Amino acid sequence: MKSLFLLSVITILSLTIVTACQSQLPTEMSVPPTKPPEPTSTELALTTTPTEMPPTATPTPIPPTSTPTEMPPTATSTQAFMLATSAEEIVGTWFAGSYHIRFDKDGTFRQAYALDKLDSQPYAISSYQFEGTKMVITEISVSGVPSCGKKIGSYEIRLLESDNIQIVAIKDQCPPRAGDVAGEYEPVR
């Protein structure tokens, strides 16, 4: 009963409001619209001209972080080869361009940018040992090049027909070292 009463009251109020609003609307447009008054010279001087907003600074994308990538395969020689299995097969000094490497009998090898720097200023000294046909190397010290710390590298030493050696990276946890060590070397005579 109460809800029926409330519904009736709401309906009556709604009709009253609609009727009041309609009575205020003009029924005919007999009066022409008026123009706004012309602005005075003072008002014109104070008028602002809208200006275009400058573009907002767009954030510079952050470059991706350095992600380790797979090492590219070392160029393979077309010469016939045998795989080294012991230090005795590679002991000596070798070069490729300005890179020099010397394998010593004690299981260490040195790298330098010139032959005369192998003893006085090598950029890397590492240890090596053979496990079958795989040479495993670990850094001892470096100077002026990125350190590999205790990361291990596995390489294959190919004894080429030409008496050169080719060092091929099998797997190295330190890509900069792999780039320095891998390659074909000629013996220093």
In this predicted model, what pLDDT tens digit does every residue of 142-176 receive, in sequence order?
Answer: 999 999 999 999 999 999 999 999 999 999 999 99
Q: State the residue for tokens 């016939």.
A: 80
- Rounded CA-CA distance 44/93 in Å is 90
Task: Residue 132: give the domain boundaries.
Answer: 86-187
Q: Write down the mean pLDDT value for the chain.
A: 77
Backbone CA torsion sign across 70, 134, 104, 78: negative
- Residue 148 resides in a domain: yes
User: Which tens digit of pLDDT belongs to each residue from 63-101?
Assistant: 454 444 444 444 555 778 999 999 999 999 999 998 999
pLDDT recorded at residue 18: 47
Tally of structural domains, the chain: 1
- Residue 155 resides in a domain: yes
pLDDT recorded at residue 70: 46
User: Is 3's pLDDT higher than 60?
Assistant: no
CA angle 64, 171, 167 (to 5 degrees): 115
User: Is 180's pLDDT higher than 60?
Assistant: yes
pLDDT recorded at residue 155: 96
Contact indicator for 124, 138 with CB cutoff of 8 Å = no
- Residue 121 resides in a domain: yes
Contact indicator for 84, 130 with CB cutoff of 8 Å = yes
pLDDT recorded at residue 67: 46
| Residue 122: CATH number of its domain | 2.40.128
Percent of the chain, pLDDT > 90?
A: 55
- Residue 4 resides in a domain: no
- Residue 69 resides in a domain: no
CA angle 188, 127, 89 (to 5 degrees): 45
Q: Which residues pair with 128 in a beta bridge?
A: 137
- Residue 103 resides in a domain: yes
Contact indicator for 188, 92 with CB cutoff of 8 Å = yes
Contact indicator for 97, 168 with CB cutoff of 8 Å = no
User: Which tens digit of pLDDT belongs to each residue from 99-124?
Assistant: 999 999 999 999 999 999 999 999 99
- Residue 58 resides in a domain: no
144 or 33, higher pLDDT: 144
Q: What totals of helices (H) and strands (E) does the chain contain, helices first?
A: 3, 9
Percent of the chain, pLDDT > 70?
A: 59
State the distance between the two ends of the chain, measured CA to CA, in whole angstroms.
Answer: 117
User: Is 32's pLDDT higher than 90?
Assistant: no
pLDDT recorded at residue 26: 52
Q: State the residue for tokens 């001209």.
A: 49
- Residue 59 resides in a domain: no
